[in-house]
Amino acid sequence: MVKQQSLFSDLNQEQSPKDQKGRPLAHKARPLSLENYVGQKHIFKRYPFLTDENFPSLILWGPPGTGKTTLAHILANNSKREFYRFNAVLGGVNDLKKLISSALEMKQMLQKEAVIFVDEIHRFNKSQQDALLPYVEAGDFKLIGATTENPRSSVNRALLSRVQSIELKKLTEDDLLNIVTNAAMDFEIHVDKESLLFLADNANGDARNALNLLEIVSHYAGDQEMTLAEVKPLVLENARSYDKNKDRHYDVISAFIKSMRGSDPDAALLWLAVMLDGGEDPVFIARRLIIFASEDVGNADPSALNIATSSLIAVQNIGMPEARINLAQATTYLASTVKSNAAYNGINEALEFVRNTQTIEVPNHLRNFPPKNTRPYQYPHSYPHSFVEQEYAPKGTPQFYRPKEVGVEKNIRERLSKLWNRFTK
């Protein structure tokens, strides 16, 4: 394996080797500096204050294993603040108040500020969130919350208005390869490059998962470099033993979706059988079929959503093993029918536009109670073909929905083209 500059040369400086003994590799391999933090380059471009000592209070949100806790540790170290950790599941309001008192006492006596890191902050109830408000408002300490849920729907507005919300993305395969390669080097785990690629590819964007898989391999690694032929069975064997929230689950459902997207009903049935044989929740599968019906089939075949929704109702009312037949019918139909992701692309582009635009005002004639002296709203049903051309969005709004020339969506495209003179190319 080619020697690279270590990502973990500064790892866990504050803990002795005795403290580290028996700890998971994912914990031992946690970097303590921004220079060694892997991934999430987009947040440092968008939020340059993350490299400053005087950063604002934050909520970091994103999927598991994307570096939320690690980044919180690094920000505390970088700003020379004391790090206090609080778990929103395990602690109550009184525990939180004691922690805050301790942080304030240290600030008063030692003139050293604190970072209070609240893991799973979305689990806080209103009283717990309210307990933080005056201190965050006054800047008595830096609050860093971590959550896998969008804080806009899981954190109350009063607290949200006092913090900066930052989204972390799933790590790329290159990021994960970087992490496992350097961890293998630092902790002298002898595996070849192909094996490291395999670990990165099977970690589903989750650094903790990747390091856990490497740790499994480390129990079998000796002085001789292990090859992919030796590593792969270990990973797959353990993947089969994982519960429904680990990489085997994600790998198979990914193959299932991609097979339907690729119009291969036989492959889709194979992965459906793998999931059912492994004890996967059939309701989960049916829900994914509903998502697929809108994301990948869309208006090319509107009946796909009805079939997928009906399969969920059937599964919920019939149960296994008979529900396998309902799932098979929906799976083969969705895999075989025409495809369009135009609706999926449209909402994604619209959301991106909204997120990068100031508050979009509703045109006066479309409002529930239009101001006086506003040009009247024209009721389309009063016009031929139930259509009248008028402004339905502010000028300059981009075109988001671009229907494809396939299936029913071809008719939709032709109608919109006649009404609005769109899709001329």
Most confidently predicted of 124-138, 151-165, 298-312: 298-312
Q: Render pLDDT for 135-185 as a digit per residue (tens, 0 to 9).
A: 888 888 889 989 888 888 878 888 888 888 999 988 988 999 999 998 998
* Average pLDDT for 287-312: 95
Q: What percent of the chain has pLDDT over 70?
A: 91
Task: Answer yes or no: is pLDDT of 3 > 50.
Answer: no
Query: What is the reported pTM?
Result: 0.54
Return the minimum-mean-pLDDT range out of 65-74, 216-225, 316-325.
216-225
Distance (Å, whole) CA 28 – CA 83: 17
* Average pLDDT for 204-209: 86
Which top CATH class is 247-336? mainly alpha
Q: 7-38 burial, b if ≥16 CB within 10 A, otherwise e?
A: bbeebbeeeeeeeeeeeebbebbbbbeeebbb
Going by pLDDT thresholds of 50, 70 and 90, the confidence category of residue 421 is confident
Going by pLDDT thresholds of 50, 70 and 90, the confidence category of residue 396 is confident
Task: Answer yes or no: is pLDDT of 417 > 70.
Answer: yes
Going by pLDDT thresholds of 50, 70 and 90, the confidence category of residue 237 is low
Q: What percent of the chain has pLDDT over 90?
A: 32
Q: Which long-range contacts (CB under 8 A, 24 or more apart) does 406-414 make?
A: 406/300, 406/338, 406/339, 406/340, 407/299, 407/300, 407/301, 407/337, 407/338, 407/340, 408/299, 408/300, 408/301, 408/302, 409/298, 409/299, 409/300, 409/340, 409/342, 412/299
Going by pLDDT thresholds of 50, 70 and 90, the confidence category of residue 244 is low
Task: Answer yes or no: is pLDDT of 287 > 90.
Answer: yes
* Average pLDDT for 186-210: 88
pLDDT score for 103: 84
pLDDT score for 252: 87
- The answer as to CATH 1.10.3710.10 being correct for domain 342-402 is yes
Task: Answer yes or no: is pLDDT of 16 > 60.
Answer: no
Domain boundaries, the chain: 40-167, 173-241, 247-336, 342-402
Q: Render pLDDT for 380-395 as a digit per residue (tens, 0 to 9).
A: 999 998 998 899 999 8
More confident residue, 320 or 94: 320
Distance (Å, whole) CA 13 – CA 260: 49
pLDDT score for 323: 93
pLDDT score for 286: 95
* Average pLDDT for 31-56: 87
Task: Answer yes or no: is pLDDT of 15 > 60.
Answer: no
Q: Render pLDDT for 318-368 as a digit per residue (tens, 0 to 9).
A: 989 999 999 999 999 999 999 999 999 999 999 999 988 888 989 999 998
More confident residue, 133 or 19: 133
Q: 329-348 burial, b if ≥16 CB within 10 A, otherwise e?
A: ebbbbbbebbbbbbbeebee
From 3.40.120.10, 3.40.50.300, 3.40.50.1100, 3.40.50.970, which CATH number describes the 40-167 domain? 3.40.50.300
* CATH code given to domain 173-241: 1.10.8.60
Task: Answer yes or no: is pLDDT of 7 > 80.
Answer: no
